[in-house]
Structure 1
Amino acid sequence: MANSISLNNKPAGCSMRWIGASALALAALWPMHAHALFGDDEARKAIIELRQKVDANRQASEAADQEARDAGAADRRSLLDLSNQIEQLRAEIARLRGLNEQLAREVSELQRQQKDVQSGINERLKQVEPTKVVLDGAEFLATPAEKKDFEGAMEVLRRSEFEAAAQAFTSFVRRYPDSGYTASALYWLGNAQYASRAYKDAIESHKRLVSQFPQHLRTPEAMLAMANSQVEVKDSKGARRTLDDLVKLHPQSEAAAAARERLARLR
């Protein structure tokens, strides 16, 4: 048992050499004393037992060596597998990082495109979306096109290009029949026609204003201007009737005060 314990405590690499040497030594010594101490049967039995112990120790040592080799190989395989998994994870992380960067670029590009589209939509809406306008005491909504065309006609009138202004206002009234600018456009149309001596046309324009917009701020002035055009075409009776209506319908207006003076001269 002492030999067995010492064998098990020796390093795995030296076990086989030590066992072999021990067996040879015992085999050499045994013949000199075996017959003196034991009988032949007992000697054989002791040798067999010794050989069995030696073989058991050798097998245990070999098994331990094999187990150690297997464990080392398993550890190496585990390390190799772990290294491969780490490399795979690194590759996957790199792929995902690249994909994330690509997605970020695509999102940024989509946001830029959306911003451009929205900007274009807003710009187009500005060109057609009505805005609030206050003119001659009236408040209404007008599209940018309406506003541009009306102001363009007014600019022509300010340059004293009366015939061109009359054409511009006539075009405006035809193009925008329901515009909030219509009443004012009719007033200035009649004035432009009067200035270009188209008195009958001026009478019709101002009469339309008075008929369609009786409460408009420009209506009293339009009635006074209409009476002037009627005087120019020698329609004194029509002029007095228009001035009488002006005084009756709009007695507090400045145009009514002027109408009273003209009535006194026409009678």
Structure 2
Amino acid sequence: MTRWLKFLPAALALSGLWLSAVPAHAGVFDDDEARKAILDLRSKQAQTETMLRTRLQELADQVQQLQRGLLDLNSQNEQLRAEMARMRGQEEQMLRDLSEVQRKQKDIQVGVDERMRKFEPQPVSVDGKDFSADPEEKKLYDDAMASLRNGDFDKAAVGLQSLMKRYPSSGYTDSARYWLGNAQYGLRQYKDAIVTFKAFLAGAPEHVRAPEGWLAVANCQAEMKDNKSAKRTLEDLIKQFPKSEAAQAAKERLVSLK
């Protein structure tokens, strides 16, 4: 409003100049007419001043409204910028959270895969026989064989028996029977060893260790002083597997039994 009031003096000055020009023509009118003209001019001047003030006030009000509008717009812009910054922060946090969740999911999946592998069948090759075995099944056999190699025949026998009981259809069964017979022989359980070796030979007559199984039976019989049965077993071994190393050992053993 102050800006527009600057123009008010100029407007009033113009009105004054207009009034000052009246006396130059006063001689044309009589006094009443002059007074009337002056009153009319003053009335018009007052109206003009009032109109100017009103217009200036309107303009000032419009300027204030514009200023308030600009202030509101600036405030809204600041709020919008703040909201956008907050949303960007939330988005960044969500991305970090998502990345952390994905990392944890990956770690969990790796852990699950590792645990699952512990239960998945594994390829095994024993005594020329290829098959799949459960991890626990394989562990039982490996532990029993480790005990047998260390001379712990009792622990080896328990482990092999447990293996055959828990996994009756195991691919280890034939080899487990053979080594169980050896563990029993080491424990001097000759009768049990003969039963185990004969079960081995009946179940796998063509097994790669079958010749050794026959020789082991003969050795058990000899330890029990049953030389007659031992000789017969050795002779059967030589007939069935004449080219085997066990057959050569059987020939030598027959000489010692005569």
TM-score by length of 1: 0.74
Counterpart Cα distance in 2 of 1:260 and 1:49: 161
Aligned residue in 1 for 2:189 = 198
Contact 2:237 2:247 in 1 (8 A): no
- Report the residue type matching 1:87 in the other structure: E
- Cα 1:165–1:23 change in 2 (3 A) is closer
Aligned residue in 2 for 1:145 = 136
- Cα 1:76–1:215 change in 2 (3 A) is farther
1:189 pairs, out of 170, 180, 190, with 180
RMSD after superposition? 3.7
Match of 2:205, SS? coil
> 1:24-39 counterparts in 2 under 5 A?
24-27=16-19, 30=22, 33-34=25-26, 36-37=27-28
1:77 pairs, out of 68, 77, 89, with 68
What's the % identity of the aligned pairs? Answer: 45
> 1:93-112 counterparts in 2 under 5 A?
93-112=84-103
Aligned residues: 255
> 1:7-26 counterparts in 2 under 5 A?
12-26=4-18
1:163 pairs, out of 143, 154, 165, with 154
1:123 pairs, out of 99, 114, 117, with 114
Aligned residue in 1 for 2:171 = 180
2:213 pairs, out of 202, 213, 222, with 222
- Report the residue type matching 1:148 in the other structure: K
| Consecutive unaligned residues in structure 2, runs of 5 or more | none
| Consecutive unaligned residues in structure 1, runs of 5 or more | 1-10
Contact 1:130 1:141 in 2 (8 A): yes
Deviation at 1:92, TM superposition (A): 0.8
> 1:63-74 counterparts in 2 under 5 A?
64-74=55-65
Match of 2:116, SS? helix
Contact 1:130 1:142 in 2 (8 A): yes
Deviation at 1:256, TM superposition (A): 3.9
TM-score by length of 2: 0.76
